[in-house]
Amino acid sequence: MLCRVCRGSKLTQFLDLGFTPPADDFLRLERLREPEVYYPLEVVICDECSLVQLNHVVPPELLFQREYPYESSTTETGRKHYYSLANDVSRHYNLSPKDLVIDIGSNVGVLLAGFKLRGVRVLGLEPARDVCATANKNGIETINEFFSESLAQEIVRTRGKARVITGTNVVAHINDLHALVRGLDTLLIEKGVFVFEAPYLVHLLEKLEYDTIYHEHLSYLSLAPMKRLFENFGMEIIDAQEVSIHGGTMRYHVARGNDFPVDPAVDEYIRAEREKGIYELEYLRKFACSVERHRKELGWMLQSLKQDGNRIAGVSAPAKGMTLLSYCKIGRETLDFITEKSPLKMGKFTPGTHIPVVGDSELIERMPDYALLLAWNFADEIMKNLDEYRRKGGKFIIPIPEPRIVG
């Protein structure tokens, strides 16, 4: 395999999370007796450009087009975040009704709805069929395709070029990053901008968010390698800022070279990345040791609770939770069930571990003694929604960065 940014071939592995099935492939009852395919989850760093990435690619058709169960509208925190992103970008670039905004991986269209409110023309691109249909039903015109150079050319022909292209939590999912950047160059008007958000590698490493590593996330982005990626194609990162969603996200603004002044924040982040040493193998191997230690600690905690006769359930079933369950080997012997708000997962079973997923109300009805909160990035909102569980004496376990009990 070659590096996704620089095409270099010297990739050094520093973390091995074992073999897992795709994290979003929740199983219907009739599939429980069928074999599941497990893929390696190994993380490497490129010696040349420092991009941290997976060394194995699961075909995207398998990951994103088969009953994809993620809807960006599920949480209030998420909705608020997308509206504020649409507002910030509209104001910053003075968008007007003649401007076109295109969102890559637009999901059910929550971000574009924010732009539409401000009177801007919008178009979504979303490969998952059901999610795309929901977006169109909600009045956000959405094309059911993966982004590609040929799709970019077709959009230019039929609707013209975009003033702004956005992508939230999508760049890390794309295998051919060079084709992405060429497509952006095709689709953007003169002085157009690409604004994208991705979980920031620095947070992943510092806050031990290793569960955000799963097959959909091919790259773990940071400023230094991203700068290099865009420079290869005459583009540059003109601004970068951290936002709090998903446990620490970086928002990047990208434009063609010399179209805009470059904010000093970009180089400051790169300097900070190097000063912390996040690209050094020694640092990354220490991180891998912490991951191993975390697995033991969480395992001991759950095991001793079980030995004392406690019943434990899971709360929320995000993709990251599946990495945690698989890697920490937490299955039905530990969790009786997992509750989830999204109807797309209810009634199914978790991939690999086969834990039944039920509606949130069952947490109150069945009152397990402890609830392992898998979507820890939305802990405050989820615990508020399930306040009744806590008032009745239930306790939450927040697993990341260190397992802790909240009573």
Q: Which positions lie near Zn ion, rule CB under 5 A?
A: 3, 5-6, 8, 46, 48-49, 51
Q: Which residue, chain included where needed, has tokens 């970068």?
A: 240
State how far the Cα of 316 lies from the Cα of 340, in Å rounded to an integer: 5
State how far the Cα of 91 lies from the Cα of 213, in Å rounded to an integer: 34
Q: Answer for the pair 216, 39: CB distance below 8 angstroms, yes or no.
A: no
If the CB atoms of residues 48 and 297 are measured against Zn ion, the closer one turns out to be 48
Minimum CB separation from Zn ion for residue 47, in Å? 8
Minimum CB separation from Zn ion for residue 253, in Å? 22
If the CB atoms of residues 12 and 84 are measured against Zn ion, the closer one turns out to be 12
Considering only CA atoms, which of 219, 397, 200, 243 is closest in space to residue 305? 397
If the CB atoms of residues 164 and 270 are measured against Zn ion, the closer one turns out to be 270
Minimum CB separation from Zn ion for residue 225, in Å? 7
Minimum CB separation from Zn ion for residue 232, in Å? 11
Minimum CB separation from Zn ion for residue 279, in Å? 11
Residue type, 42: E
Residue type, 26: F
If the CB atoms of residues 165 and 218 are measured against Zn ion, the closer one turns out to be 218
If the CB atoms of residues 46 and 135 are measured against Zn ion, the closer one turns out to be 46
If the CB atoms of residues 41 and 51 are measured against Zn ion, the closer one turns out to be 51
Q: Answer for the pair 78, 72: CB distance below 8 angstroms, yes or no.
A: yes
Q: Which residues pair with 143 in a beta bridge?
A: 125
Considering only CA atoms, which of 368, 383, 371, 379 is closest in space to residue 401? 379
Locate all alpha helices (DSSP H) within 188-346, ordered by sequence: 201-206, 223-231, 265-276, 281-307, 319-327
Structure tokens at 307: 């030995």
End-to-end CA distance of the chain: 47
Structure tokens at 340: 């989830």
Q: Answer for the pair 405, 396: CB distance below 8 angstroms, yes or no.
A: yes
State how far the Cα of 358 lies from the Cα of 345, in Å rounded to an integer: 8
If the CB atoms of residues 8 and 359 are measured against Zn ion, the closer one turns out to be 8
If the CB atoms of residues 221 and 325 are measured against Zn ion, the closer one turns out to be 221
Minimum CB separation from Zn ion for residue 263, in Å? 25
Q: Answer for the pair 70, 107: CB distance below 8 angstroms, yes or no.
A: yes
Minimum CB separation from Zn ion for residue 7, in Å? 7
Minimum CB separation from Zn ion for residue 237, in Å? 17
